[in-house]
Amino acid sequence: MGQDFPLSPIAVYLHNPFCLRPCPYCSFYRVAYHQKQQAEYLGLLIEELKLWKREIGRKISAKSVYFGGGTPALLTAEGINNILQEMHLEPDAEITLEINPIQITPTFVQELQATAVNRISLGVQSFDDEMLRLLGRRHHGSDIPAKMELLRDAGYENISLDLLYGLPAQTPEMLLTDIEELRKQKPQHISTYLLTLDEDSPMLQDIESGKIPHLANDDLAADMYELVCELLTGAGYTHYEISNFSLPGYESRHNLSYWHSEPYLALGASASGWLPPWRYDNPASIRKHQNNIRKQVLMPHKKRRQGKAAEEDYLMMGLRLTQGIDRADFERRFGRDVTEGREKTMGKLLFCRMIELDDNWLRLSESALFISNVVIGELMWR
C-alpha cells in the first residue's frame, strides 16, 4: 500500500468487540468484557496504528474517527486519548463514540470531556421497558432524559440516538410512543433500524420455541418504516439516508464517507476497510488479528474491487442516500454515464416509479426506499 495510501485525510473506524453482556438479537462480532483483555486489546489497536504509520511513513491523517463495537466506551477516556494521539486529527475532525446508556454517569462524562470526542451515538433502541428487557438492554426508557442532560451539560451538542423497530409484538401505536419520546430528547441525529435476526441468534431461537412473540412481518415492517419517516421528517429532521435522519448540518460525516465510496481505514478485529482498489476484512477473532499485527500483516483478506465490482459497490452505497448519486461523479470515476448499459432496466424502474433520474442525479424514489436492496440489485445486475 505504502505510497498508494490516500494523501488527503480519511475516515477511520476502530472496532472494540468487548461487551458487558451479550444482547440476544446481536450478530456483531463481540466478546465478553474482561478488564485485562480489554487493556491488551487497546495496546493492540495502538500497535496497529503504529504499524500503519510505519507502512505509509507518517501518522494517519483523519477527518473523522468512529469508535464502534461491541462497546467502544469500555476503552475508557484514557484509552481513547492514547489511540487518538497516534493519529493526526484535522482541526474540525468528527470524533464519534458509541455509548451504551448505562455507561453514562457524571464521572464517565467528566472523563470523556478530556478527550477529543465531539459526537455521541447513544444506543437507546426503545423507551418501552418491556421491549428493552426482551432486547437484553439494561437501561430503562425513563433513564434517557437524565443521560441526555448530563451529556448536554457537559457541552455535547452533536448527539445521535438509535431506534430499533419491528420488535416482538410491537404495534404501530407502541412505535409511535417511542418516536414521540425520542423526539422529546431533541437529538441532532437519529439512526433507525428494523430488527432482523440471524439464524443462530438466541432471540430467534426464543421466538421459534414460542418463548417470545414474533417480530413484525413484511407488511407491518413497511408500515412502521413509513411511520418512522413521516414522524421524523414532520419533526424537522432531514431524511438523508435510507435509515438516517438529521437536523440540518448534523449528518454523520463519517458515514457519509462510506456512502460516497471514499476511502476509509478500519482497525481492530472484524473491521472492514476500503483503500481503493482494496477492500479488506480483519479477522473476526482477536487472536487471529493479533497474530496478523505481530507479523506486521495489514489488510488481510484483501480483494481488489475495480471496474464492474467497484461500480456496483458505488451504486450500492450511493443509492442509500436520498439525494442519490451524482451522475458527474459517477462519470469521473467510471468513464461513462450511469445510464449507459442500463437503459432497459432503468426504463422499467422509471416506469414503475422506483427510481428518479434528472440531468444531475439518479436516486431511489421515496416508495423504493424500504425495498432498496431489490431495486439496487436490479440496477447492478442490469
Contact window for ligand SF4 (CB under 6 A) among 68-76, 164-172, 222-230, 368-376: 68-76
Size of the chain in residues? 382
Are the C-beta atoms of residues 128 and 178 closer than 8 Å to each other? yes
Q: How far is the CB of 28 from ligand SF4 (least distance, A)?
A: 5
Nearer to ligand SF4, 108 or 361 (CB): 108
Q: Which is nearer to ligand SF4, 41 or 240 (CB)?
A: 41
Which residue of the chain is nearest ligand SF4 when measured via CB?
26
Min dist. Cβ of residue 79 to ligand SF4 (A): 17
Contact positions with ligand SF4 (CB under 6 A) in 76-115: 100
Nearer to ligand SF4, 28 or 278 (CB): 28
Q: Tell whether residue 70 is a contact of ligand SF4 (CB under 6 A).
A: yes
The answer to the question of residue 243 lying near ligand SF4 (CB under 6 A) is no
Q: How far is the CB of 360 from ligand SF4 (least distance, A)?
A: 39
Kindly indicate which of the ranges 16-24, 57-65, 218-226, 279-287 contains the residues binding ligand SF4, using the contact rule CB under 6 A.
Answer: 16-24
The nearest distance, CB 378 to ligand SF4, in angstroms, is: 32
Among 71, 126, 158, 244, the residue binding ligand SF4 under the rule CB under 6 A is 71
Residue number with CB closer to ligand SF4 (101 or 318): 101
- How far, in Å, CA of 377 to CA of 315, rounded? 9
Min dist. Cβ of residue 26 to ligand SF4 (A): 3
Minimum distance, C-beta of residue 268 to ligand SF4, in the bound complex (Å): 13
Q: Residue 167, interface with ligand SF4 (CB under 6 A)?
A: no
Instruction: Kindly give the pairing relationship between strand 325-326 and strand 361-364.
Output: antiparallel
Pairing mode of beta strands 244-246, 31-32: unpaired
Q: How far is the CB of 71 from ligand SF4 (least distance, A)?
A: 5
Residue 263 touches ligand SF4, criterion: CB under 6 A: no
CA-based R_g, the chain, Å = 21
Min dist CB 72 to ligand SF4, Å, is 9
Residue 61 sits at φ, ψ, to 5 deg, of -100, 120
The β-bridge partners of 68 are: 15
22 scored as a contact of ligand SF4 (CB under 6 A)? yes
Task: Report the residue number, 23 or 346, with the smaller CB distance to ligand SF4.
Answer: 23
Identity of the residue, 71 or 121, whose beta carbon is nearer to ligand SF4 in the bound complex? 71
Size of the site for ligand SF4 (CB under 6 A): 10
3-state secondary structure the chain: CHHHCCCCCEEEEEEECEECCCCCCCCCCCEECCHHHHHHHHHHHHHHHHHHHHHHCCCEEEEEEEEEECCHHHHHHHHHHHHHCCEEEEEEEEEEEEECHHHCCHHHHHHHCCCCCCEEEEEEECCCHHHHHHCCCCCCHHHHHHHHHHHHHCCCCCEEEEEEECCCCCCHHHHHHHHHHHHHCCCCEEEEEECCCCCCCHHHHHHHCCCCCCCCCHHHHHHHHHHHHHHHHHCCCEEEECCEEECCCCCCHHHHHHHCCCCEEEECCCCEEEECCEEEECCCCHHHHHHHHHCCCCCCCCEECCHHHHHHHHHHHHCCECCCEEHHHHHHHHCCCCCCCCHHHHHHHHHCCCEEECCCEEEECHHHCCCHHHHHHHHHHC
Q: Which is nearer to ligand SF4, 198 or 343 (CB)?
A: 198
Provide the minimum distance between the beta carbon of 24 and ligand SF4 in the complex, in angstroms, as a whole number.
Answer: 9
Residues 6+ apart with CB under 8 A from 210: none
Q: Please, which residue, 22 or 276, has the CB nearer to ligand SF4?
A: 22
Question: Which residue type occupies 115?
Answer: T
Which residues, 26 to 55, sit near ligand SF4 by CB under 6 A?
A: 26, 28, 30
Q: Is residue 268 a contact point for ligand SF4 (CB under 6 A)?
A: no
Nearer Cβ to ligand SF4 (5/28): 28
Under the criterion CB under 6 A, does residue 19 sit at the interface with ligand SF4?
A: yes
Contact residues: ligand SF4, CB under 6 A: 19, 22-23, 26, 28, 30, 69-71, 100
